[in-house]
Amino acid sequence: MPRTGRRPGAGGTGDKILAAARAHFARVGYEAGTVRGIAADAGVDPALVLHYFGSKESLFRAAVDFPVDPADFIPRLLAPGIDGLGERLVRFFLETWDSPAGRPLLALIRSVVASEDAAALLREFVTREVLGRLAKTLQVDQPQLRASLAASQLIGMAMLRYVIKLEPLASARPEVVAGWLGPAVQRYLTDPGVTAGGVRSPRVRKRA
Amino acid sequence: MPRTGRRPGAGGTGDKILAAARAHFARVGYEAGTVRGIAADAGVDPALVLHYFGSKESLFRAAVDFPVDPADFIPRLLAPGIDGLGERLVRFFLETWDSPAGRPLLALIRSVVASEDAAALLREFVTREVLGRLAKTLQVDQPQLRASLAASQLIGMAMLRYVIKLEPLASARPEVVAGWLGPAVQRYLTDPGVTAGGVRSPRVRKRA
């Protein structure tokens, strides 16, 4: 089974559901999108949509060619503990881009940069399913801010490595890049100093 | 005088030179581009090109709407010394984006992501005039790598803040974001540990 969740032999019905899902998510966004609505647009039963794609989340991933399953990779990266998480995250991110599964990512970046609607749609999905999931698992303050800062470093590396192709970043092996960026990403995810200044949590603000 | 270097009242001649410059740089790249070649394409004397735009570099900046002059801002950011350089760099970068002068930057990102040729052209310019200049001024090992890593964090923040508009990054004040990112950028620019693993300089390699 391909990692996007689309089943082999889905044939016409699977493609019809995917086309309906793309139009539906583009119209109402990720949060407001429903399996029921997509099924209605495709003229099939909601149970058939779930049979083919499993969940709204995996249907979305299949529709936009998002190459990894956050419900799978986030627990896997966190399993060895929080030590070295930054380095593991950078390495996983680059190894995914460099693999055949990562091929749709450049098109995804292009669509997000070209279209405000595509940017909003991906933002909703990534906020909820990637950053939200990572934030829930981290035992730290301001996890959503921390996950966003980590994401900013990853997406910037992707821009220079895969879009602008700046050396030596473009040709360095993922584990070498992980050595460069790992401590910065680790700091964003875990260092108390990151959130000490600037935006404070409401609790801290009340005390002041 | 606008910061792009284009003089007021340049009128038809200035615009003709700019159009020729865009076509010329797109054809031969930034490094191989010449004021003489652009003048020939525009049907004017090279001295007139220099009279209007000052140098190949500032002509390029005017042609692609690059909003800042690296020969001006890099010495200015480095003047107070290397301490706090990361934070000053982040703050300057975001304040430029947020200012009217930063308005063309989103279009620049869009063109770079949409076109490999535009990406290559901007890469040549940024490598030489921004990263190269920064690298020359820093008294550190592997300055070009360090400047590229700092750039990766800046460009990633720009992607999330201005393109994807992810909160709280999108609405945070520049000085708050500088507090979040500053230490990471400072580490890239100055920490000996960054370059201790991974890609080594030839001198270190010979010793091993």
pLDDT tens track for A53-78? 999 999 999 998 888 899 999 999 99
Q: Which residue of A has its CA nearest to B122?
A: A164
- How far apart are alpha carbons B22 and A8 in whole angstroms? 48
Give yes or no for a contact between B41 and B23, defined as CB atoms under 8 angstroms apart: yes
Which residue pairs, CB below 8 angstroms and at least 24 apart, start in A169-174? A169/B148, A169/B149, A169/B152, A172/B198, A172/B199, A174/A90, A174/A91, A174/A94, A174/A95, A174/A98
- How far apart are alpha carbons B26 and B188 in whole angstroms? 32
What is chain A's alpha carbon radius of gyration, rounded to the nearest angstrom? 19
**Contact state of B152 with A159 under an 8 Å Cβ cutoff:** yes
* Exposure string over B112-122, b if 16+ CB within 10 A, otherwise e: bbeeeebbbbb
**Contact state of B123 with A180 under an 8 Å Cβ cutoff:** no
**Contact state of A152 with B148 under an 8 Å Cβ cutoff:** no
Q: Which residue of B has its CA nearest to A174?
A: B198
Nearest to A114 among B110, B153, B164 (CB): B110
**Contact state of B153 with A122 under an 8 Å Cβ cutoff:** no
Q: Tell me: pLDDT of B203 over 60.
A: no
Nearest to A164 among B119, B169, B197 (CB): B119
Write the DSSP string, A107-176. HHHHHHHH-HHHHHHHHHHIIIIIIHHHHHH--SSSHHHHHHHHHHHHHHHHIIIIIS--TTTTTS-HHH
- How far apart are alpha carbons B142 and B203 in whole angstroms? 11
**Contact state of B184 with A153 under an 8 Å Cβ cutoff:** yes
Q: Tell me: pLDDT of B204 over 50.
A: no
Q: Tell me: pLDDT of B123 over 80.
A: yes
**Contact state of A157 with B154 under an 8 Å Cβ cutoff:** no
Other CB atoms within 10 Å distance of the CB of residue B139: 7
The H-or-E segment that residue B99 falls in is none
Task: Find which of B123, B164, B171, B199 to mutate to test the A interface (most A CBs within 10 Å of its CB).
Answer: B164
Q: Which residues of chain A neighbour B165 with C-beta distances below 8 Å?
A: 119-120, 123
- Which tens digit of pLDDT belongs to each residue from A90-99? 999 999 999 9
Q: Which residues of chain A neighbour B194 with C-beta distances below 8 Å?
A: 180
Q: In this prediction, what percent of chain A has a pLDDT beyond 70?
A: 89
Q: Which residues of chain A neighbour B179 with C-beta distances below 8 Å?
A: 197-198
Q: What is the ipTM of this complex?
A: 0.84
Residues with Cβ within 8 Å of residue A21, at least 6 apart in sequence: A33, A38, A42, A59, A60, A62, A63
Q: Tell me: pLDDT of A135 over 70.
A: yes
Cα A182–A185–A187 angle (5° rounding)?
Answer: 105
- Which tens digit of pLDDT belongs to each residue from B113-122? 988 888 999 8
Minimal C-alpha gap between A87 and chain B (Å): 13
Question: Taking the CA of residue B143 as centre, how many other CA atoms within 13 Å lie in the half-sphere pointing to its CB?
Answer: 13
Give yes or no for a contact between B118 and B29, defined as CB atoms under 8 angstroms apart: no
Cα A130–A154–B158 angle (5° rounding)?
Answer: 100
Nearest to A148 among B119, B160, B179 (CB): B160
Tell me which DSSP letter residue A79 carries. T
> Rounded to an integer, what is the distance from CA B201 to the centroid of its chain?
25
- How far apart are alpha carbons A126 and A155 in whole angstroms? 12
Please name which of B153, B36, B186, B85 lies closest in space to residue A149, comparing C-alpha atoms: B153
Report residue B50's pLDDT band, with 50, 70 and 90 as the boundaries. very high
* pLDDT (0 to 100) of residue B67: 87
Give yes or no for a contact between A155 and A168, defined as CB atoms under 8 angstroms apart: no
**Contact state of B180 with A168 under an 8 Å Cβ cutoff:** no
- How far apart are alpha carbons A66 and A118 in whole angstroms? 13
Report residue B1's pLDDT band, with 50, 70 and 90 as the boundaries. very low
Average pLDDT, chain A: 87
> Rounded to an integer, what is the distance from CA B80 to the centroid of its chain?
21
The H-or-E segment that residue B129 falls in is none
Give yes or no for a contact between B161 and A149, defined as CB atoms under 8 angstroms apart: no
Alpha-carbon torsion (B39, B42, B43, B49), positive or negative:
negative
Residues with Cβ within 8 Å of residue B196, at least 6 apart in sequence: none
Task: Find which of B91, B146, B152, B187 to mutate to test the A interface (most A CBs within 10 Å of its CB).
Answer: B152
Please name which of B17, B24, B69 lies closest in space to residue B46, comparing C-alpha atoms: B17
Average pLDDT, chain B: 87
Minimal C-alpha gap between A201 and chain B (Å): 12
**Contact state of B181 with A155 under an 8 Å Cβ cutoff:** no
Backbone angles phi, psi at B65, to 5 degrees: 60, 40
Please name which of A31, A123, A150 lies closest in space to residue B180, comparing C-alpha atoms: A150
- Find the largest Cα–Cα distance for chain A: 61
